[in-house]
Amino acid sequence: MRTVLALGLLVILGLSSRPGQAQSGQNADDISVGQQLIQQDAGSIVEPSSATNKASLLQNGTLNQSSIDQRMLGVGQGNTALITQNGASNVAYILQAGAQNRTSVSQVGANNVALSEITGSNTESDIVQRGNGNRVEQRLSVDDRRYTVEQMGTNNTLLQRESGTTAPGYEVTMKGNGIRIVIEQGRVATMP
């Protein structure tokens, strides 16, 4: 079994005394905070501030795929994303646009898919998939909410859409096989 551990990308440009960046842009203002992976300042590495987006990825198994895209909008603390995959052919995608959002995806099994998009600030999403063939498609355009999704079994599907509703965050637990649920604006329906 092959283990791939990717906690970040280390790029240090040159050995000169001028500061380097992990991007190719000429102007530091053109580089988003989330893209500033490593900065070298006269030979010493500068630790990221709380305004920096943070991402971690741990993959154990074969043919797992993942992507993390973070865009810090406005001022405040950065976004945080964590993907952990253990098994085969799992897919995880996280998109965060805003500030202080936190998303974690944990997949154990095979052929699980987790797609999470958060737009807003201070929203948290935890997705746990244990089993095979489970799917979560999540689009959250909200502020100050917390969502937890847990799928245990085979071929469970959740489509989740929330945008600016007054519904608070919530937890979804799917234990079993073939469960298909749609949640839109806090209302629950089953899928055909």
Boundaries of every domain in the chain: 53-141
Q: Is 74 exposed, middle or buried (0-12, 13-18, 19+ CB in 10 A)?
A: exposed
Q: What average pLDDT does the structure give for the chain?
A: 77
pTM above the 0.85 mark?
Answer: no
Phi, psi for residue 89 in degrees, rounded to 5: 55, 35
pLDDT class of 167 with cuts at 50, 70, 90: low
Of 50-59, 115-124, 179-188, the range with the highest mean pLDDT is 115-124
Q: Which pLDDT score, from 0 to 100, does residue 68 have? A: 95
Q: pLDDT for 87-120, tens place per residue?
A: 999 999 999 999 999 999 999 999 999 999 999 9
pLDDT confidence bin for 126, thresholds 50/70/90:
very high
Q: What's the rounded mean pLDDT across residues 151-179?
A: 91
Collapsing DSSP to helix, strand or coil, 76 comes out as: coil
